[in-house]
Structure 1
Amino acid sequence: MKIAITGLGGIGKTQLALEFAFQQKELSDCAVFWISCVNSETIDQAYRIISRELEIPGHNDAQLNVKELLRDYLSSDNSGRWLLVFDNVDDLSVWEDNTSPSSRGLLDYLPKNDIGTIVFTTRDNRAAFKLASPNVVNLSEMDESTSQQLLKNYLGNEDLVKAEEDTRILLERLAYLPLAIVQAASYVNMNQTTLQDYIQLLDKQEAGQIELLSKDFNDDWRYQSIQNSVAKTWLISFTEIKKRDPLASEFLSFMACIDSKDIPRSLLPRPSSLPEAREVEAIGTLTGYSFITKHTTGNAFSMHRLVHIATRNWLRAEETLDTWTDKAVTRLADALLEPDQTDRAQWRSCMPHAHYILTLNAGPYDYNSLLLMLFKRYGDCLYYEGRYKEAEINHEELVKIFKTTLGADHPGTLTSMYNLASVYKRQGRWDEAEKLGAQEMEACKAKLGADHPDTLSSISNLATVYQSQGRWDEAEKLGAQVVEARKTKLGADHPDTLTSMSNLALVYESQGRWDEAEKLEAQVVEARKTKLGADHPGTLTSMSNLASAYRNQGRWDEAEKLEAQVVEARKTKLGADHPDTLTSMSNLALVYESQGRWDEAEKLGAQVVEASKTKLGADHPDTLTSMSNLALVYESQGRWDEAEELGEHVVEAYKTKLGADHPDTLTSMNNVAIVWKNLDRHADALEMMQSCVEARNRVLGLNHPNTKNSAAWLTEWEE
């Protein structure tokens, strides 16, 4: 019978084979023979020694093949029970000699006998199946309990293991790899340190980790001629893979320069002309050595943490780490190109790897560097993902770099300022967005001209800031200007023209001009469906805006149908916690409230409030809007105390964040006044509504629907 034990270097294959040998020796009258396959010389030497010990006739005759003699003897009936172990079978060329028709490999010298057993240990899973299929034992990492026992067995001071948290952290850092655990115990014993000391050393810079994992130690169960450290034990495999499968070596080198977890197969640097079968074989080589594990889908991989560190050290020694890092940066920058236009699933899967490289190679970055290109595109992805705080840090750094390198009025600098202003706007920091946006707009006009596409984008961005600030007349003026200019410059169906039309429709809606808003937004929806597709984020934004127009007109069934469609599409396209998805959910909750479906409105509204707090922060305008909407639901349910508590909080937060005269602040004041009236706080309600009406007259105008609504309540209460 033939058995193969396979697994990552240092996983314990030799130890398992030794344990099996001891058991066979104790359970039966069994002869055990051990052959180290470190190289062909050790194999030849082992055959000679075993033949001599067995006193096989002819073993001293130089004319005879000692391998044939041992094979024939162990295959004979008078050999007795035996176990033959071939340890470290990692070079298959020794076993399959194809140099000439008459040449023979070790496979030809394996004995065959029903009372004999052959055991192979190998790092190469494919070698294991070739030699002993189907009897292959694949060793995986140990569980925490077994790892803890191993550490305890090797530590000179068993009391150290009683520090449970330190033990857990150390074993996790060492990925439960037996060799790494034994090496750590040896270091602690020799230096009289603690587990916590060792953890702190591991958590230092990568060079420090490598130094620690490269330290040799004595182990009676390992060959004296082989270096025992974790980092060094894999060098043989790295070299063997590079020689045997160059593409696998390239994949390994590439993976070592990005994050070790969730590596998309599509990211691997395979030349387009290379057959897919060759890629499959290269991946098979790496999985065969247990350096990577394939996810169940087969479209992503993870690399063993310690292998990742050791591979980087190998590349550093080979003086190729910088070269491979540049290749990884270029590949990722290509994958993150124009993230708003490409498959989100693809660039989302690449973002952790970009973050890994950028963290490892922190700026400031040179203007012409590959890293700066990746840094910029990563920042764009953060913005489109709704991760605005991280995007802010990124874009602020880009503005500094461009200003220093190119000058304050360079088009590249102006673009970076535009992007940063967009981040501020999304964060609800409208005063900062206005200041930076106005500065960038004036610079664009001076540098590029008033009708340049970049200038028009700046004007459009500033108009949306005015819209958010409740400065609707100014927003309308700028917005209408951009619409006409873009129609002339770019065409009526250009995506940028459609964006400016959608923004103008939002202004109309805020002004209470709902028929005009509906007409313009419906036009944009159809054009975007044709131009961009039904599930494009821009199309979904227009559909959501149109649903809001329907809701304001009291066309609740149409609003519900359209907004529900947007919610599902945004969940799929953007994710359930994306700010735009949360906005749609909040709008849908408002529709439910208008339809009298208060339980559904409350459930959905409460969900949005919590998600917005987590994603955007408790004082973000969008979070406050969702809280205001939820308070409105409580009001409809007659839960006046809860409506009062939440509503009052929103009023104060709006005053602080947006100002006392902002339209959203005035809406929340109107709602709180109604709650107070129902709680019999008549004087307070009357005073609040009077303030609201006066402010709405001043800010919105006498004819705005919201002003008329508040005035109607006030008239009724004063009678």
Structure 2
Amino acid sequence: MRLLHFDALGRLALADFRGKTIPPYAILSHRWSDSEILIEDISNGTYNEKEEGYRKLQFCAERAAQDELQYFWIDTCCIDKWNLSELSKAINSMFQWYKNAARCYVFLSDVLVSTATEPVQRSDWETSFRASAWFTRGWTLQELIAPESVEFFSREGHPIGDKESLDQLIHDITGIPLAALRNCPLNEFTRLERRRWAENRRTTEEEDIVYCLLGILGVSMPTAYGEGQESAGSRLQAELEAASNAPSIIPFSRNPRFVGRESQLAELEAKLFSNKQTTTMLAIVGPGGTGKSQLALEIAHRTRQNIKGCSVFWIDASDKDSLYQSYASVAQKLGVLGWDSDQADMKQLVKRCVVEISAWQCLLIFDNTEHTTLRSGGWSTTEVADLADCLPQSKLCSVIFTTTYSDTAQALASQNVIALRELTPDAALRMLQVRLTRPLANTEQQEAERLLRELSCLPLAVMQAAACMEASGMTVQEYRSRLDDYKELAIEHSGGSSEDRLQDSGVKYPVAAALFLSINQISRDNALATDYLFLAACLDRKDISLGLLEVASTQVREDAIRILDKYALVTRRPAESALDVHRLVHQALRKRLQVQGQLQEWTQRTITQLLQVFPDSDHSNRSKWRRLLPHAQYALSQSPADDYDEERTCLASKCATALFSEGQYEEAEDLFVEVMQTSKRVLTDEHPSTLGSMANLASTYMHEGRWKEAEELQVQV
């Protein structure tokens, strides 16, 4: 936990108490604005440039000082939101942080008091207090309930009263029992009662009306934005019912519209826990877009439902960083030694998790396993994680891998490999029907069957077609007619003819055709949303930070992202302020830009945008550059280094420095060499920038043990 305070010189600073005894502190409760102070603003000393955020920070600091509290906490600037591990822990710790605060100050920005004298009279504020939006928001519920001391203040900073003196008024406004407002233990209220406290509250994300109850209900559950309130509520109910059973983490809700893989599902269920000697290894293999993850998700939920004593853990195995993050969540769930330490050795933490889960019946799902060794996120080539070290060796355990590569499936699961291809026509029709909110009329059945044949019965293409029809209001006939306009273009983008479009080389024709139709439809409604897609095509497809998306206002950006989500083109991750793009969609977007001759233009725009947000080498920016590095490396790898481009060279230099700081010397060396050669060619050998790049390269050589090469460069410098 980080806390704000003023140092000996009177400068605002952050103190890190992770792993230490936390001193008494005050905590702020407020509603977010578009001008909030972030953790990097504190590090950079620019926090006073954001007027609304600075007003609240000054208020909290002054109140804490009056209450003789040296430290205070504000959610906007005490959490490093670039650090996904820290962010995940913070979400699950928030209730306890408010509960442990010595004072909680509620800053009511919509309650104004005209008088300048104190104490203010009740008549000066009661009407606006009753109408304050603070009492209608989901996340402020735990901020009212958890702390022992809650004090309310007007926008001007006038004290209005506290939770104790205003308990009857707050009860009248919220309906929360007086006993709860008087800090009665929450376990004296039924869970149904506690859930009702949020009934008339609202949240920006519909799922948050469920997630904001986790602390109040004493439940730990991963967030899965995009699942909807109903699904989030179902997962919460499952967590409550399973509280006394084996712990599990399935970060995605069950798909109530799962169809088309019944035979493979039965085969998987029959093979689970079938090895009587050691861990049962199974693999689901198939081209992108065939529904591997959806099948794995269904078996995960069925196993949890049908085998009460069995734990189920979902592991993102797309790269080393994602795998370690998944195991960090497992460690937190199981209370494994070191889960709450930011200095924990991740390899050792994984080993402790493996030992722990090997002791009882457990199913592990390793999703997106493309290789038996996992490299660091993005384009790193030095650090790898051997998958074998992450697997339990126990006859009580089963592991299911999903992968697009047959050789990986064979290496991991030998004979227990289940291959997926396109759906049968009947299964594809059922998938289309369940994804459309209206039933297909008898006259539409034939048209739908023709459409599905044109989409090759590929699950991803069917899902995108259904999403487009739902979002635009098109009928099946209208959609099929419009799709004809994009067939040849899609085949051209796929790099093949319609006869070989089912081959798994390059972008699948059905996905490309459906994508191009959706893009055309989206561009009519929201041009910014289309721009976001093209920018995403020039970045790594996972964990695209919203900070990379140019925006006039946060609401304009949110509207554009919601449209992309509605058309099923992105996966939203509001908790991380990020989004993902499916691999085939990403490929198709790049192909479209390439054929239209716009790929380099958009790559350059992306590099410009990356340069604006990529931080300097100060260690306080480490979390930020770690998340941006995969995107910067991807954009640089797609941009020719032959011609001099100042922005590209500057970004390459920043990336090289960040990689050097991370100890990834091989990747740093490649970029430092590129920067040095470019500087020599354009700026001459004696230019300060050239000499600086040579010094950086020499330092890299030294860390790699290449002393002779380092010495030769140092002599030149």
Question: For this structure pair, what is the TM-score category when the shorter chain's length is used for normalisation?
Answer: 0.3 to 0.5
Greater per-residue strand proportion: 2
TM-score, scaled relative to structure 2:
0.33
TM-score, scaled relative to structure 1:
0.33
